């Protein structure tokens, strides 16, 4: 057992990088769910974002434009979900699951030509002024943190945020007050899609820096779970994502260092610890457990 | 009602399959169950190359179908059943975790032939097949031992099953022979395919001093991380030539095509029987990808000599003296490991002497 090889600064950087894709997707889904919509298509939107980001980055030579492309791609895909659930009144759970399957297939199709290509260098996005260890962080990690703060402030302090929450709590009341329930929800869904797309592109452009079919490998589902366990609060979503990413990276490092704990326990620890911590936090606050938006998953029709 | 309609569909499918065989003009239907996406550029990619080879060989006489990213476990049973109901005559289930599902479904469809990769349970209509990947591990283990400067080799392992444990032992034994100071760090990621996690594992190994990475997972993510870090790696299951000449300095390639073509042919002419196939470098089921110029010429020559000796059978990758991790004797001087029986290769669940850590249960 030799822990002297584990450098805390490197570990911190690695955990932030590992958590960022989940964090981006989760904070987007949080806004969607706050508007009363349950979109289970996060995995599909992420993987489409991953391939769109990759395609844009390679064709423009700019990873930053790649991220823009990923956000657009994710948002466009989510608009299919919006059209089906908001205008055609389809079931949100079934449509969301369908979106994931569709996204996985579509991304594989879009990405066929790009499997063996290399993405442009992302060295320009790295925070190399932080030194060798923390220098592997990049602007997207910071962007994700800023986004969490912005979403928190938006929901808590702005009028638009209040309207969005009202739509999510009681769409009938919001409608009676003259707010365009469907418009608000479509905008929220598109935002969620864009965030999931960014999360996917972070995976293909920064964390792994290659395109592989199905490369999100369940990250979208983790993001969905973190929104619920974080009881729809941006700060707890941040805690959940960092905890999950952190323990994932930590357990790999402990394995390399030869910690004398059975690998099975280390391997399941990210799931266990994340669930445990978030359950404790939400149960201690009474009301937090009931924090789910009241109209979550319910379709709205103006006549009804 | 629901069950009835499923049964009716099943009966219909079986009926048509029976007609197909009797008629002689209907194409033979061959199904493949894949554990990852065909674009993983690793394990599943190579199985899919086998499917394409079957299509190439038999043209109109064969109809293929496949399902990607089928989880190992209960859901696999549903996917295999579905394929059998669709009238498949022969189904290849291409991952270890499909072993019990394959046996279960095979019992319900006695007229359908099944082939399960890397497992050890057979039935009258279930064959098993695998490749002696550990022979390939011996060759790249030797190269790894020669190429490391920090004397620390990182190994990304998937699940603690005999196939993976054999690979670790074989690679370690031959790296140690090439370089007595070498140490192995094994990280278990409990997945065959998760580029993010595989990449993180590679990064953790590199951060703690490994300068050569081996992987027993299916994606090319560790190659990308190795490239970024400027260290060496080996292609796994497929050549992964996009990463040559460095970080990928060689590779282990699985070539399933000849086997698949032969087995489909056997179903067509009615000679198919339940068999157990376990081929290595000699018959060509395991290949060593081109050793790149980054590797010094004499190391390359040694590796090729080792490959030749494994191919013609003059050397066995597990030749004694080899002790188990606890120091007890596994193979005496000159003794080679048996395939089956106690301490045989097929069920290998222990590390050899010198490896640290435990094999997870």
Kindly determine whether residue A209 and residue B228, on different chains, have CB atoms separated by under 8 Å: yes
Q: Which two tokens stand for residue A138?
A: 């990049």
pLDDT, position A276: 81
| Residue A167: inside a domain | yes
- CATH 3.40.50.2300 range(s) for chain B read 2-131, 133-252+288-347
Closest approach of B332 to chain A, Cα-based (Å): 30
pLDDT, position A42: 96
| Residue A60: inside a domain | yes
pLDDT, position B294: 94
The confidence band for B20, taking pLDDT boundaries of 50, 70 and 90, is very low
Q: Look at residue B28 and tell me whether its pLDDT is greater than 90.
A: yes
pLDDT, position B21: 47
Average pLDDT of the residues of chain A: 89
Closest approach of A83 to chain B, Cα-based (Å): 29
The percentage of chain A sitting over the pLDDT mark of 90, rounded to a whole number, equals 59
Identify the DSSP state of B346: G
Number of folded domains in chain A? 1
Between B105 and A128, the higher pLDDT residue: B105
Kindly determine whether residue B360 and residue A263, on different chains, have CB atoms separated by under 8 Å: yes
Q: Which of A111, A210, A267 sits opposite B224 (nearest CB)?
A: A210
**Other residues' Cβ atoms within 10 Å of the Cβ of residue B336:** 13
Suggest the residue from A19, A133, A208 to mutate for an interface test with chain B (most B CBs closer than 10 A).
A208
pLDDT, position B19: 45
Kindly determine whether residue B361 and residue A264, on different chains, have CB atoms separated by under 8 Å: yes
Q: Which CATH class is domain B133-252+288-347?
A: alpha beta
Between A135 and A304, the higher pLDDT residue: A135
Segment A283-291 long-range contacts (CB within 8 Å, at least 24 positions apart): A285/A231, A288/A231, A288/A233, A289/A231, A291/A231, A291/A232, A291/A233
H or E segment to which residue B298 belongs: helix B297-312
For the CA atoms of B102, B103, B109, B110, what is the dihedral angle to 10 degrees?
130
Residues of A with CB under 8 A from a CB of B: 5-7, 10-11, 14, 18, 21, 104, 108, 111-112, 115-116, 118, 203, 207-210, 212-219, 248-249, 252-253, 255-258, 262-264, 267
pLDDT, position A284: 61
- CATH (domain of A245): 1.10.3470
Q: Look at residue B18 and tell me whether its pLDDT is greater than 60.
A: no
pLDDT, position A267: 79
Q: Which of B188, B197, B210 sits opposite A255 (nearest CB)?
A: B188
Kindly determine whether residue B196 and residue A257, on different chains, have CB atoms separated by under 8 Å: no
pLDDT, position B15: 46
Between A273 and A137, the higher pLDDT residue: A137
Residue of A nearest to B195 (CA): A215
Q: Which of A108, A207, A213 sits opposite B196 (nearest CB)?
A: A207
CB–CB of B130/B117 below 8 Å? yes
Q: Which of A269-278, B6-15, B213-222 has the lowest mean pLDDT?
A: B6-15
Which residues from B are below 8 Å from A262, CB to CB?
A: 358, 360-361
Q: Look at residue B16 and tell me whether its pLDDT is greater than 70.
A: no
Kindly determine whether residue B356 and residue A213, on different chains, have CB atoms separated by under 8 Å: no
* Measured distance CA(A9)–CA(A137) in Å, rounded: 11
Q: Look at residue B4 and tell me whether its pLDDT is greater than 80.
A: no
**Other residues' Cβ atoms within 10 Å of the Cβ of residue B321:** 12
Q: Say if residue B37 is preceded by a cis peptide, omega within 30 of 0.
A: no
pLDDT digits (tens, 9 = 90+) for B162-192: 999 999 999 999 999 999 999 999 999 999 9
Between A71 and A131, the higher pLDDT residue: A71
pLDDT, position B1: 41
The complex scores an ipTM of 0.84
Residue of B nearest to A259 (CA): B357
Q: Which of B189, B196, B360 sits opposite A264 (nearest CB)?
A: B360
pLDDT digits (tens, 9 = 90+) for B323-345: 999 999 999 999 999 888 888 89
| Residue A188: inside a domain | yes
Q: Look at residue B10 and tell me whether its pLDDT is greater than 60.
A: no
The confidence band for B9, taking pLDDT boundaries of 50, 70 and 90, is low
Mean pLDDT of the region A115-124: 80
Mean pLDDT of the region B100-115: 96
Q: Which of A6, A214, A257 sits opposite B69 (nearest CB)?
A: A214
* Secondary structure, 3-state, chain A: CCHHHCCHHHHHHHHHHHHHHHHHHHHHHHHHHHCCCCCCCHHHHHHHHHHHHHHHHHHHCCHHHHHHHHHHHHHHHHHHHHHHHHHCCCCHHHHHHHHHHHHHHHHHHHHHHHCCCCCCCCHHHECHHHHHHHCCCEHHHHHHHHHHHHHHHHHHHCHHHHHHHHHHHCHHHHHHCCCCHHHHHHHHHHHHHHHHHHHHHHHHHHHCCCCCCCCCCCHHHHHHHHHHHCCCCHHHHHHHHHHHHHHHHHHHHHHHHCCCCCHHHHHHHHHHHHHHHHHHHHHCCHHHHHCCCCCCCCCCCCCC
Average pLDDT of the residues of chain B: 90
* Measured distance CA(A50)–CA(A73) in Å, rounded: 9
Q: Which of A118, A248, A255 sits opposite B197 (nearest CB)?
A: A248
The percentage of chain A sitting over the pLDDT mark of 70, rounded to a whole number, equals 95
pLDDT digits (tens, 9 = 90+) for A81-105: 999 999 999 999 999 999 999 999 9
pLDDT digits (tens, 9 = 90+) for A17-61: 999 999 999 999 999 999 999 999 999 999 999 999 999 999 999
The set of residues, in sequence order, having a beta carbon less than 8 Å from that of A205 and lying 6+ positions away, is A53, A54, A57, A63, A66, A67, A119, A122
* Measured distance CA(B142)–CA(B144) in Å, rounded: 5
Q: Look at residue A286 and tell me whether its pLDDT is greater than 80.
A: no
Domain B2-131 architecture: 3-Layer(aba) Sandwich (3.40)
Residue of B nearest to A265 (CA): B360
First to last CA, chain A: 65
Tell me the Ramachandran region of residue A293: left when phi exceeds 0, alpha when psi lies from -120 to 50, beta otherwise: beta
Residue of A nearest to B208 (CA): A5
Kindly determine whether residue B204 and residue A256, on different chains, have CB atoms separated by under 8 Å: yes
pLDDT, position A246: 85
Q: Which domain holds residue A84?
A: 3-115+135-290
Q: Look at residue B2 and tell me whether its pLDDT is greater than 70.
A: no
Residue of A nearest to B361 (CA): A264
pLDDT digits (tens, 9 = 90+) for B200-256: 999 999 998 999 999 999 899 999 999 989 999 999 999 998 888 889 999 999 999
Residue of A nearest to B194 (CA): A217
Kindly determine whether residue B37 and residue A14, on different chains, have CB atoms separated by under 8 Å: no
Kindly determine whether residue A257 and residue B219, on different chains, have CB atoms separated by under 8 Å: no
pLDDT, position B283: 92
Suggest the residue from A217, A247, A248, A262 to mutate for an interface test with chain B (most B CBs closer than 10 A).
A217
> Pairing between strand B212-215 and B152-157?
parallel
* Measured distance CA(A51)–CA(A237) in Å, rounded: 25
3-state secondary structure of B274: coil
């Amino acid at each position: 057992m030799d822990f002297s090889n584990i450098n805390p600064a490197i570990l911190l950087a690695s955990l932030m990088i590992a958590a960022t894709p989940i964090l981006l997707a989760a904070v987007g889904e949080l806004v969607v769910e706050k508007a009363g919509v349950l979109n289970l298509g996060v995995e599909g939107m992420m993987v489409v974002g991953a391939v769109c980001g990759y395609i844009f980055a390679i064709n423009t030579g700019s990873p930053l434009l790649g991220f823009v492309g990923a956000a657009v791609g994710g948002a466009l895909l989510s608009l299919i979900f919006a059209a089906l659930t908001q205008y055609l009144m389809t079931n949100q759970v079934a449509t969301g699951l369908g979106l994931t399957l569709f996204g996985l297939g579509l991304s594989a199709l879009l990405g066929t030509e790009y499997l063996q290509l290399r993405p442009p260098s992302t060295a320009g996005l790295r925070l190399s002024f932080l030194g060798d260890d923390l220098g592997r962080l990049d602007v997207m990690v910071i962007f994700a943190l800023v986004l969490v703060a912005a979403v928190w402030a938006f929901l808590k302090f702005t009028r638009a945020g209040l309207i969005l929450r009202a739509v999510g709590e009681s769409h009938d009341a919001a409608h009676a007050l003259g707010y365009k329930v469907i418009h608000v929800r479509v905008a929220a869904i598109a935002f969620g899609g864009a965030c999931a797309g960014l999360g996917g592109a972070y995976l293909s452009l920064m964390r792994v820096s290659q395109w592989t079919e199905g490369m999100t490998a369940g990250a979208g589902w983790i993001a969905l779970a973190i929104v619920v366990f974080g009881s729809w609060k941006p700060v707890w979503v941040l805690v959940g994502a960092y905890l999950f990413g952190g323990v994932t990276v930590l357990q790999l490092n402990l394995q390399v260092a030869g910690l004398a704990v059975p690998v099975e326990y280390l391997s399941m620890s990210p799931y266990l610890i994340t669930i445990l911590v978030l359950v404790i936090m939400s149960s201690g606050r009474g009301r937090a457990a009931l924090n789910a938006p009241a109209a979550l998953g319910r379709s709205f029709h103006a006549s009804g | 009602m629901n069950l009835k309609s499923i049964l009716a569909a099943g009966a219909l499918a079986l009926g048509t399959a029976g007609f197909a065989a009797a008629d002689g003009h209907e194409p033979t239907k061959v199904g493949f169950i894949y554990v990852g996406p065909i674009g993983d550029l690793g394990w599943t990619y190579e199985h899919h190359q086998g499917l394409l080879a079957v299509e190439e060989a038999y043209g109109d006489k064969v109809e293929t179908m496949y399902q990607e990213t089928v989880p190992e476990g209960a859901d696999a049973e549903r996917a295999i059943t579905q394929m059998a109901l669709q009238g498949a005559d022969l189904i290849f289930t291409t991952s270890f975790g499909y072993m019990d599902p394959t046996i279960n479904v095979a019992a319900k469809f006695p007229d359908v032939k099944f082939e399960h990769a890397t497992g050890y349970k057979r039935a009258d209509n279930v064959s098993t097949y695998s490749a002696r990947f550990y022979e390939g591990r011996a060759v790249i283990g030797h190269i790894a031992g020669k190429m490391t400067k920090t004397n620390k080799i990182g190994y990304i392992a998937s699940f603690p099953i005999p196939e993976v444990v054999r690979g670790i032992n074989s690679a370690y034994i031959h790296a140690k022979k090439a370089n007595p100071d070498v140490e192995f760090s094994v990280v278990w990621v409990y997945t065959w395919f998760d580029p993010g996690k595989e990449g993180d594992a590679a990064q953790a190994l590199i951060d703690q001093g490994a300068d050569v990475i081996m992987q027993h997972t299916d994606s090319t993510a560790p190659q990308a991380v190795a490239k970024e870090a400027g260290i060496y790696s080996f292609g796994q299951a497929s050549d992964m030539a996009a990463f040559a000449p460095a970080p990928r300095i060689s590779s282990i390639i699985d070539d399933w095509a000849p086997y698949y073509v032969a087995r489909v042919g056997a179903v067509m002419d009615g000679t198919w029987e339940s068999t157990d196939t376990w081929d290595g470098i000699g018959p060509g089921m395991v290949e060593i990808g081109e050793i790149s110029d980054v590797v010094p010429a004499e190391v390359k020559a040694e590796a090729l000599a080792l490959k030749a000796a494994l191919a013609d059978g003059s050397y066995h990758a597990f030749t004694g003296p080899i002790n188990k991790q606890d120091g007890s004797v596994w193979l005496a001087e000159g003794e080679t490991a048996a395939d089956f029986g106690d301490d045989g290769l097929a069920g290998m669940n222990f590390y050899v002497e010198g490896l640290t850590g435990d094999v997870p249960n």
